[in-house]
Amino acid sequence: MGPLLRAGALIPLLPCVALALRPFLVVVDPGHGGRDPGACWRGLREKDLTLRIARRLKGELRRRGILCRLTRESDRYLSPRRRARLARRWGADCFISIHANAAPPGCRRRGASVYVRRPNPLAWEVLRCLREVTRLELVHPRRAELAVLRDLRVPALLVEVGYIDNPAEAWRLYTARFQRRLAAAIRRAVERCCPLEPLRVHRVRRGDTLW
């Protein structure tokens, strides 16, 4: 048994903090849900699509040994701030909110895009990886004051995977094959950009040991 670390006893020999490892946690947020269907087109609902893609992304990450939690696992409503609070409570290292877009009446648009409140490398990497599997509407992350991202201090982004009211995109978005490709692209971005075991600060307290 190692010696107890008494408060102040080893200050000349040890720093006041020690570094501890913990698993990297990705929080994935399926947009909308419950009474909020999101964008709708010909019977297709954004809330259903986002949950399917989020579940596939969770599976992709877990198969690579990366810890992942979803803000919702079923069709239920959560406010944007509640989603952010969950991510903070769980100790998220990054936050990815999944959505699908809809064009204004009379417009026809297509392509994926990424929105951020503060620029971060993960957002750029997600765009690069999405470019490998789908068309992009925006070639760089766009800054936006989104409520779901506002209270987060970790890399956070909102991904619009495409336009639910574009017939060609909607057909692809609702196929399992394309959903898997989108999920795999986002997973690759997480692997390339995020350390899987980040160092965390642990303050030495009375009664701690070296072993």
Instruction: Name which residue leads in pLDDT, 59 or 23.
Output: 59
Single out the residue of 199, 205, 207, 176 nearest to residue 24, CA to CA.
199
Across 104-143, b (16+ Cβ under 10 Å) vs e yields: eeeeeebbbbbbbbeebebbbbbbbbbeebbebbeeebee
- Residue with structure tokens 């008494």? 6
* Residue type at position 130: L
- CA pair distance 149, 156, nearest whole angstrom: 6
Amino acid found at 203: R
User: Torsions phi, psi of 146, nearest 5?
Assistant: -95, 135
pLDDT beyond 50 at 13: no
| Active site residues per annotation | 160
Q: Mean pLDDT across the chain, nearest whole number?
A: 87
- Report, as an integer, the average pLDDT of 134-145: 96
pLDDT tier, 106 (very low <50, low <70, confident <90, very high otherwise): confident
Closest CA to 115 of 84, 90, 149: 149
**Nearest 5°: CA angle at 58, between 88 and 151?**
20
| pLDDT at 88 exceeding the cut of 60 | yes
Angle subtended by helix axes 176-193 and 121-131, to nearest 10: 140
191: which 2 tokens? Answer: 């692997």
Q: Under a CB-based contact definition with an 8 Å cutoff, are residues 116 and 157 in contact?
A: yes
When pLDDT is averaged across residues 95-120 and rounded to a whole number, the result is: 94
pLDDT tens digits, 177-202: 999 999 999 999 999 987 755 434 44
**Tokens 């698993």 identify what position?**
23
Phi/psi of residue 84, each to 5°?
-65, -40
Dist CA 142 CA 69 (whole Å): 25
Token pair of 4 as six digits: 């107890």
Total-model pTM: 0.83
Whether residue 88 contacts residue 152, with contact meaning beta carbons closer than 8 Å, is answered with yes
